Structure 1
Amino acid sequence: MSFVIRDVREHELDSVLALNNNAGSAILPLDPAKLHDFYDNAEYFRVAERDGNLAGFLVGFGSASGHDSCNFAWFKQRYPHFFYIDRIVVASRRRGGGVGRAFYADVQSYAELRYPLLCSEVFLDHGADSALLFHGSFGFHEAGQNVMPEVDVRASMMMKELCSYPWIRQTYGDALPDLPWVGRPRRPQPRDSRATGT
């Protein structure tokens, strides 16, 4: 059966939270407030849906965001312009079915039009071979390591150069063509504005 990747909807955040907090030690837990912060501020927040159920999600931020992750800060200290994958979670029953690969293809399609680098991290203290191999198969390499002080976890800081970006930037600058497949960055709005329609 096939699945679709699309923007998350606010009423799905409880299901996203459950997916995240049941993912195990390779993903840091979230609370509802932090997840709503992601919903309000993430440039990319998409879910995979299969048979009417969520099969996973991916959250990402551009380098100009005010994202407060220490791993995001590690990249920001070293690179001026990048897109950061904060987390990807695939439901355990859907792992190995191509959902993660579809997410990475989708987020790269989004990022390469706007950023020269795609960045992520892999926690090294929890059996990282499958995640390292997954990232390596997408052309990522380790740019360094970071110990996350708040949780004492060592992370491999993974980076990939997006080879399409220089040509796109030279050809289109900040004015990408208005094509349906190009999409536009999420324009997060405060929840109050969405609720009142203003």
Structure 2
Amino acid sequence: MALAIRDVREHDLDAVLALNNEAGTGILATDRSRLRHLYEIAHYFRVAEQDGRILGFLIAMRPDAEYSSPNFRWFQAHYESFVYIDRIVIASESRGHGLGRIFYCDVQSYAEVRVPLLTCEVFLEPRNDQTVLFHGTMGFQEVGQQTMGETGPKVSLLARELPSFPFVRERYIEQDGLPAVAWLSERQRPIDGPKVSA
């Protein structure tokens, strides 16, 4: 069966939690309640599924998210409009086959019609040159560094300008808004509650 990149569903969360906590030192471990919070606030939360199995996920959010991550807060303090990649995890047996690039292309297609910047961080302690190189080849530039908390790891804060955004802003956002087509629709987050039609 073909690989599908789709919005996360509530029943995926156990598999997502297991993947997250098996990822190793490059991803902060989490628990059910924190993952549930991310599920509720993330603007972008997609999984890669093949043959009924979750092979990876990516979580991202915009500046209005109620999120206390020090790295997210750093971007909030420095930029008005962005999409922040909180975490990406690929199952160990699926690494090295381009799934990370697929996710980054997908989140870019989400971001570039909404904001001028795509942002994230990479750990410098322990440093993973493969991750640093990956982000460099995807067009990210370092815009800062910080230590997470008083004793946490040092991170490199990265941003990538989205050159399509000025065109979208001028032709669509500042005019009549984005077209009402499925691929441009926002994720229906649980925190949004039921939609009321006029």
Instruction: Give percent identity, aligned residues only.
Output: 49
- Structure 2 portions without partners, runs of 5+: none
Summarize deviations over 1:116-173 as a string: whole Å, max 9, x none. 0000000011232111111111100111101101651000101000000011001111
- The match for 1:189 is 190
C-alpha separation in 2, matches of 1:172 and 1:95? 37
1:34 aligns with 2:34: yes
- The match for 1:158 is 158
- The match for 2:60 is 60
- The match for 2:111 is 111
SS class of match (1:88): strand
- The match for 1:173 is 173
C-alpha spacing 1:17/1:150, structure 2 compared with 1 (3 Å): farther
1:70 aligns with 2:70: yes
RMSD: 1.6
C-alpha spacing 1:79/1:190, structure 2 compared with 1 (3 Å): closer
SS class of match (1:106): helix
C-alpha separation in 1, matches of 2:22 and 2:190? 28
**TM (normalized to structure 2)?**
0.92
- Structure 1 portions without partners, runs of 5+: none
**1:67 deviation in Å?**
1.5
**TM (normalized to structure 1)?**
0.92
- The match for 1:99 is 99
Q: Between Structure 1 and Structure 2, how many residues are aligned?
A: 192
C-alpha separation in 2, matches of 1:40 and 1:136? 30
C-alpha spacing 1:13/1:151, structure 2 compared with 1 (3 Å): farther
SS class of match (1:17): helix
SS class of match (2:60): strand
1:12 aligns with 2:12: yes
SS class of match (1:157): strand
**1:31 deviation in Å?**
0.5
C-alpha separation in 1, matches of 2:28 and 2:60? 15
Paired letter, 1:165: F
